[in-house]
Amino acid sequence: MNGQAAASPWHRGEVAIQESVGMAGRMAELGPRVIRDHLTDQHRAFFPLLPFAVLGSVDGEGRPWATLREGEPGFLHAPDPFRLWVDGRRDPDDPAEAGLEDGDGVALLGIELATRRRNRLNGTVERAGPEGFAIRVEQSFGNCPQYIHSRHEGPRIGDGATRPRPILSDELDPAARALVAAADTFFVASFVEDAGQRQVDVSHRGGRPGFVRVGADGGLTVPDYSGNRFFNTLGNLLANPRAGLVFPDFATGALLQMSGRTEIVLDPNEDERIGGAERLWRFVPERVVFRPRALGLRFVEHRAA
C-alpha cells in the first residue's frame, strides 16, 4: 500500500505512471472496487481448471524471475477465499525457486489460453514442506483478454522424459535471440519494496511475432500497448528498474528465463517508436537460464479456418 488513502491499492510508481496519462483520479476511484484482498467465488472456480500457472518471485540477490509451473487441473485450488494452494515439488533447475520460501513475496497469473481468460494475484508464500505451498492473498483482480494468442493444449510429454540440464549465461546467445525474435508471448515479473513490504507482480505481454525487438547489444525493446491503465508492471519498473522475463516455447516446452535491468521510455523518439505502442521499455539481461523441455505441456495456436 502507498501513503495515500488507506483503501488505495496503488503504490507510488503506479500512481506516477497513471498521472502521466491523466488517469490517476479515475484509477483512485476504480482501484478499490476491482482489486480485492481475497479470491472471489468466480476466481476460486477458475484456478482449478488450469494446467499451468505463471509465477513471479525474487531470489536472495534481489533478482526477479518469472516462470511457468504445470500440473493436472486441480493442482491450483483455493481452500478458502484468502489462500491459493499450488501443488508440486520443488524444481532446483528453476531460478524462481529461490524466491518461493515461506514468507517470501510472490505473484501468480492464471491464464487459460484457449479462452484468453486471465486472473492475477499477489501475496505471501506459506510453505510447510517440499510438496507445494499456499499463497496468502493480498491483491487479486481480473484482466482483459487483450493481446493473448488463443492456443489449445496438445499432447503432454510424460513425466518420465529426461530433461536436459539448464544452460546458464549472462547474455543471449544466437538461439535465445532467435526465440525472442519469433515470440508472440512472454511473461514479466517485477516488484517494489514499500514500507518494509515486498509486493511482487507477474503479467502477460503479447503481440505479433517479433513484437519484442532484439538489439545488436542483446538488449530488448518492448512495446507497451494500451491496456487497463493499472500500470502494475510499469509502475513497478519505475520504482525499481528490475525485471524477470520468461519466453515459453509452446511447441517444445522450453523456457527462456532472464533477469536484468530496465528503462522506461514514456515518450519515444520518432525513429524508435513501435507501431501501436504508446510507450516503450528496455531490458538488459544480466542472468539468462535456458531450460530445454522444462515443461511437459505443449500448446498449438488456433488458426482461422
**Using one digit for the tens of pLDDT, what is the confidence trace for 38-67?**
999 999 999 999 999 999 999 999 999 999
The pLDDT tens digits for 234-274 are 889 989 999 999 999 999 999 999 999 999 987 766 666 67
Q: How large is the average pLDDT for residues 180-187?
A: 96
pLDDT greater than 70 at residue 228? no
pTM as predicted: 0.91
Q: How large is the average pLDDT for residues 289-299?
A: 96
Q: Identify the sign of the CA torsion 156, 157, 163, 169.
A: negative
What integer pLDDT is reported at residue 305 of this predicted model? Answer: 45
The pLDDT tens digits for 195-204 are 778 999 999 9
What integer pLDDT is reported at residue 80 of this predicted model? Answer: 97
pLDDT greater than 80 at residue 75? yes
CA–CA dist 66, 269 (Å, integer): 30
Q: Which residue has the higher pLDDT, 146 or 97?
A: 97
Q: Hey, what amino acid is at 276?
A: G
C-alpha cell at 290: 535456458
